[in-house]
Structure 1
Amino acid sequence: MTLLIRGGTVVDSTHSYRADVLCVDGRIAQIGADLQAPAGATVVDAGGLLVMPGGIDPHTHMELPFMGTVASDDFYSGTAAGLAGGTTSIIDFVIPNPRQSLLEAFHAWRGWAEKAASDYAFHVAVTWWDESVHREMGELVQQHGVASFKHFMAYKGAIMADDEILVNSFRRALELGALPTVHAENGELVFQLQKQLLAEGKTGPAAHPLSRPAAVEGEAANRAIRIAEVIGVPLYIVHVSAREAVQEIARARGEGQRVFGEVLGGHLLIDDSVYRDADFTRAAAHVMSPPFRPRHHQEALWQALQAGHLHTTATDHCTFCAPQKAAGKDDFTRIPNGCGGIEDRMGVLWHYGVNSGRLTPSEFVAVTSTNAARIFNLYPRKGAVEAGADADLVLWDPEATRTISAATHHQNVDFNIFEGRTVRGLARHTIAAGKLVWADGDLRAVRGAGRYLPRAAFPAYFEANVRRSRDS
């Protein structure tokens, strides 16, 4: 298929310029002024629109079996909703059960993802440790293109990685050139606080943030950073929600350590008052971990994003409908943790970031696409508007508006955490692999059109750490 995008303004992570973009057979073939449309080409008028790399969401949980249920968005519905919002690639998480083979879990997730409408890659979680895990990490990197491993420092008694697992897995990641990532919350503290709150009769959603105060995130972030420092491996911290964690990342980066931080759109905009809603269904719909924080944390997150201490924006998209959330009606620790957002991430980031003056359009591209592509070794295939890159593009209308609502979104969930917010700046068209998959409100997602994205290990930032570790 040949597609010519005519009359738009190309915006990448460094600058913008007027140009046409020609896409042939799923790749960007040519960029320039006044390009001629080849015979049979589809021509899209991008006058007044910005032509940007398609969004990359580096943190999703489609079809996740979790807390006794399964996330309501599967790999098709979730990625299709992402296309409607301008996101053309995701990196999802394979999460083995304790004692389960990493490879067995990986192949299960690959099977579920065959229905994806957009391209996808995987992080694989390390939830236990023995020599088989050591061996299978190598197979995943060298044979299956997995270049990042996840460690949950929370969820005691289930998938929590203790310090022994962190040390062993971080060392193995260093050997392989793979990037360790962590969910930074002190799982023991959370467990003890949950028991205390339940004993006090505090069983509703309002107890959820009390069981996971900012200090438990700051402590875990510092511990993971220090372990990575001793081992000499880079580190990526997912869904940073608290000022305390930001401070640890900024300190480490100021000392020359390779630490990357991710922030969710929800944590930038929503505060902990949502858990005190008298309606259980609305309050429970916001239960995720880490929880939404008091408002002063939001400003710290925005400042860190502007300063370059936080590098990517994600969603942690993990949707559960009201009947699923009701499992915790009498015990907040049983409410399935997770919220949606893949369809809305780019719209809310543009509205509250670019329109407010916090971010430039190029910085928006960096934090919604290019930085994730660079950190997770997908660049320049993804995250770039340049010849040879995949033709994954979003034609952005900075003046279009939309009022976000569960009644009109494409996510397979009955609640939207951004409900009622009107945002200015939207995906007018989305192009994935050179095909028009979202056209001014018409979703043309195709089940199974997404491709698995194997990733090589040893990106440049990692090689520097390996050399430094060997020299020390």
Structure 2
Amino acid sequence: MSILIRGGTVVNADRAFRADVLTDGDKVVAVGPNLEAPAGARVIDAGGQYVMPGGIDPHTHMNLPFMGTVTQDDFFTGTAAGLAGGNTTIIDFVIPNPQQNLIEAYQQWRGWAQKAAGDYTFHVAITWWDDTVHRDMGILVRDHGVNSFKHFMAYKNAIMADDETLVKSFRRALELGAIPTVHAENGELVYQLQQDLLKRGLTGPSSHPLSRPPMVEAEAANRAIAIAGVLGTPVYIVHVSCAESLEAITRARANGQRVYGEALAGHLIVDDSVYASPDFDFAAGHVMSPPFRSKHHQDALWHGLQGGNLHTTATDHCTFCAEQKAAGKNDFTKIPNGCAGVEDRMAVIWDAGVNTGRLTPSEFVKVTSANAAQIFNIYPRKGVVAVGADADIVVWDPEGQRTISAKTQHNKGGFNVFEGRTVKGIPTTTVAAGKVVWHGGQLMAVEGAGRHIDRPAFAPVSAK
């Protein structure tokens, strides 16, 4: 079926211009003025609205087994919520258990993702090392469309990668034309600070940010960047939350390193005052890692996006309900880490970014879609409204408003870190793979409609 989006202003990362957009099947087939609607085509009136590429959230965790439980959102409910918010593609994470075969873990996640309503692709975490990991990284790149590998520098005694693993994995990624990504927190420091706080009887959620101060993140970011610099590999730092980590990225980029930074919508909007709440469910609902920071750090992150040293915005969407969070009622280290956001990312960034003058509409497209597509090598299939691109499009009403609430959200978990925020600028229509999946406040997500998106390797040094 064809769709003609008529009368809007197309906004891409490089420019904005008045044009109609015609899709046929799952591709954009024409962009230009006064396009004719083919027989039987659905016509969508975008007058007074922007027509932008669907959002790409490069950091989500659907159906994740973590800290003794499993996230509330599976690949259907999570991607469906994303579609309601204008997000048409996610990059999720395969996280093998220590000593688990990488291919086995990858196939397990692919199975879970069969029910996705929107397109998806995967980073694969390197949680341990031996010759089979070296081999399987090559198989994943060559045969399974994986071009990024995740490294947790946190979570001691679980999935933390030590320096030996980082060096060997970074070197292998470079050989294969893949990019390493890093969760930068010094896991040993976090563990020791957690134990100190517990010994002092400070067991509540307010201790969570105390156990993960900014320098814990900054040390790991500096170390990962230094390792990448010595080896000559690019590196992508996920969920940058503090000024000190941004400074490390900025300094490295000024020295010619290929370092990319990601900011979470939550870290841009929510500050650390939430942990002072006497309401355990409220404070625990905000427990994620790295934690929310002070307004000083929020300002720094916005400056990073504006200055081009932070490149993407994500959510780290990882939903746990109050009952699951209550596992840490008497020990904050047992609160499952994670918050939602895939449905709200684009609206809150538009509201806090474009409406305040921090970002232009084209810069918004850069940080919500185009940059992620380019960094992870799926551009121009994704991240642009242009002939030949996937028909993943969001029609955006800059005057539309909604108040965010857990009561009306589409994701599970029953909690929302943006609760009560009224945003101006919302999606009125989402088209995913050439099908209307959100229109007029109605969600029409179809379980299993999402496709796995292969991401080609970059030019390798010596792929084996």
Give the TM bin, normalised by the shorter chain. over 0.9
TM-score using structure 1 length: 0.97
Distance 1:441 1:109 in 2: 31
Alignment deviations for residues 206-245 of structure 1 (CA, whole Å, 9 cap, x no partner): 0000000000000000000000000000000000001110
1:72 aligns with 2:72: yes
Distance 2:353 2:272 in 1: 21
Tell me the CA shift for residue 413 of structure 1. Answer: 1.4
Q: Which amino acid aligns with 1:213?
A: P
Alignment deviations for residues 254-299 of structure 1 (CA, whole Å, 9 cap, x no partner): 0000000000010011111111100000000000000001211000
Determine the structure 2 residue equivalent to 1:59: 59
Determine the structure 2 residue equivalent to 1:39: 39
Determine the structure 2 residue equivalent to 1:470: none
Determine the structure 1 residue equivalent to 2:321: 321
| 1:138-217 correspondence to structure 2 within 5 Å | 138-217=138-217
Alignment deviations for residues 304-329 of structure 1 (CA, whole Å, 9 cap, x no partner): 11000000000000000000000000
1:425 aligns with 2:425: yes
Distance 2:32 2:53 in 1: 16
TM-score using structure 2 length: 0.99
Distance 2:391 2:11 in 1: 14
Alignment deviations for residues 407-460 of structure 1 (CA, whole Å, 9 cap, x no partner): 00101111000000000000010000111100010100000000000111016x
Q: 5+ unaligned residues in a row in structure 1: which ranges?
A: 468-472
Determine the structure 1 residue equivalent to 2:457: 457
Q: Which amino acid aligns with 2:58?
A: P
Q: 5+ unaligned residues in a row in structure 2: which ranges?
A: none
Determine the structure 2 residue equivalent to 1:350: 350
Distance 1:413 1:440 in 2: 24
Secondary structure at 2:388's aligned position in 1?
coil
Distance 1:451 1:361 in 2: 28
Determine the structure 1 residue equivalent to 2:280: 280
Distance 2:147 2:278 in 1: 44
Distance 1:189 1:237 in 2: 19
Q: Which amino acid aligns with 2:435?
A: K
Distance 2:156 2:397 in 1: 45
Alignment deviations for residues 85-121 of structure 1 (CA, whole Å, 9 cap, x no partner): 0000000000000000010000000000000000000
Alignment deviations for residues 317-365 of structure 1 (CA, whole Å, 9 cap, x no partner): 0000000000000000000000000000000000000000000000000
Determine the structure 1 residue equivalent to 2:402: 402
Determine the structure 1 residue equivalent to 2:111: 111
Determine the structure 1 residue equivalent to 2:220: 220
Tell me the CA shift for residue 70 of structure 1. Answer: 0.2
Distance 2:80 2:319 in 1: 14
Q: Which amino acid aligns with 2:427?
A: A
Distance 1:42 1:66 in 2: 43
Tell me the CA shift for residue 384 of structure 1. Answer: 0.7
Secondary structure at 1:63's aligned position in 2?
coil
The percentage of aligned residue pairs carrying the same residue is: 69
When the two chains are superposed, the root-mean-square deviation of aligned CA atoms in Å is 0.8
Q: Which amino acid aligns with 1:23?
A: T
Distance 1:446 1:166 in 2: 39
Distance 2:428 2:25 in 1: 22
Determine the structure 2 residue equivalent to 1:121: 121
Secondary structure at 2:455's aligned position in 1?
coil
Determine the structure 2 residue equivalent to 1:91: 91
Distance 2:147 2:60 in 1: 16
Secondary structure at 1:222's aligned position in 2?
helix
Distance 1:110 1:430 in 2: 25
Determine the structure 2 residue equivalent to 1:312: 312
Runs of 4 or more off by more than 6 Å in structure 1?
none
Determine the structure 2 residue equivalent to 1:249: 249
Distance 2:118 2:378 in 1: 15
Distance 2:413 2:195 in 1: 30
Aligned residues: 462
Distance 1:242 1:235 in 2: 18
Distance 1:375 1:326 in 2: 38
1:390 aligns with 2:390: yes
Q: Which amino acid aligns with 2:403?
A: T
Secondary structure at 2:157's aligned position in 1?
coil
| 1:11-30 correspondence to structure 2 within 5 Å | 11-30=11-30
Determine the structure 1 residue equivalent to 2:330: 330
Determine the structure 2 residue equivalent to 1:266: 266
Tell me the CA shift for residue 14 of structure 1. Answer: 1.1
Secondary structure at 2:37's aligned position in 1?
coil
Distance 1:8 1:269 in 2: 29
Distance 1:275 1:343 in 2: 23
